[in-house]
Amino acid sequence: MRIIKVLIFASLLIGCQNQEKKTEGFKVKGNVNGLNNSKLLVLKFVNESIEIDSINVVNNKFEYTGKVLEPYFIQFMIKEGKNTKGKLTEFMIENSEITVEGNSIEYDSVKVSGSTSDKVLKNYLKDDNLLNEKWDNLKLEYDQYVELNDTINKKKTADKLNVILQVDRVNLLKQYVKENSNTTVGALLPSFCTIESALTEKDYQNFYNILSEEIKQTQYAKNLFSKFNKQPE
């Protein structure tokens, strides 16, 4: 019986150690054909500043480690001599094991996995882009009605355009913030949206109120708070 208890305790201890190790920081492991033995320039968009780092690539493979207080946006640029050859990839970095893989150095061929924040952000941007494409198609119809001086259909189409921008896209953002209210990504989404012109102070306040008390302590939530609680100059 004592041996069994010792084994159970050892298993729990190892499990806790593994969990702590997993959340200790981030590890980005990359394998992209065509990088060869080059160097990557790392652009880190932390708060409202840009920090720069670099990674050495050996036989198409590289590793990048560190620790972040909160997820932030990062870009890997291919460095060739003193110049940059182009953007390899970009993603939200967080304290997890992240994989960057690609069959070539072309941007669209490189895939990132392992970052929950990045997955949520890119899913939101994908869904929002579908609405944006719908808006673009309607805008073409609207322009045609303007040329034809068709005031009735022009007004109907204008109303549809406003609904997509001021209702559908705003509701989509609210949906994602609500679904991720207990994570940092829920607080950062409004900062990465492309519909800022359609958002009111009331919208920002609603986003903030949706967040959990813990997430309200993050810098992203504080930035959100400042959008509707502006101090007098």
The pLDDT assigned to 212 comes to: 96
pLDDT classification of 194: cutoffs 50, 70, 90: confident
Q: Dump pLDDT digits (tens) for 24-46.
A: 899 999 999 999 999 999 999 99
Over 80: is that where the pLDDT of 175 sits? Answer: yes
Q: Dump pLDDT digits (tens) for 113-164.
A: 999 999 999 999 999 999 999 999 999 999 999 999 999 999 999 999 999 9
Give percent of the chain above pLDDT 70.
88
Over 90: is that where the pLDDT of 88 sits? Answer: yes
Q: Which residue has the tokens 């209702």?
A: 167
Cβ atoms of 69 and 44 within 8 Å: the answer is no
Q: Is the pTM of this model over 0.85?
A: no
Over 50: is that where the pLDDT of 82 sits? Answer: yes
The pLDDT assigned to 11 comes to: 44
What's the mean pLDDT when you consider all of the chain? Answer: 89
Spell out the residues 6+ positions from residue 24 whose beta carbon is closer than 8 angstroms to its own.
Answer: 67, 95
pLDDT classification of 23: cutoffs 50, 70, 90: low
Collapsed DSSP state (helix, strand, coil) of residue 181: coil
179 against 196, higher pLDDT: 179
φ, ψ at 37 (rounded to 5°): -115, 50
The pLDDT assigned to 15 comes to: 47
Collapsed DSSP state (helix, strand, coil) of residue 42: strand
Average pLDDT over residues 176-191: 94
- What's the one-letter identity of residue 70? E
Nearest partner of 31 among 79, 64, 54, judged by Cα:
64
The pLDDT assigned to 5 comes to: 43
- What is the spatial distance between Cα 25 and Cα 81, in angstroms, rounded to a whole number? 31
- What is the spatial distance between Cα 180 and Cα 119, in angstroms, rounded to a whole number? 12
- Integer-rounded Cα Rg, in Å, for the chain is 23
Q: Which pairs with CB-CB distance under 8 Å and at least 24 residues apart come from 20-23?
A: 22/96, 22/97, 23/95, 23/96
Nearest partner of 112 among 103, 100, 97, judged by Cα:
100
pLDDT classification of 83: cutoffs 50, 70, 90: confident
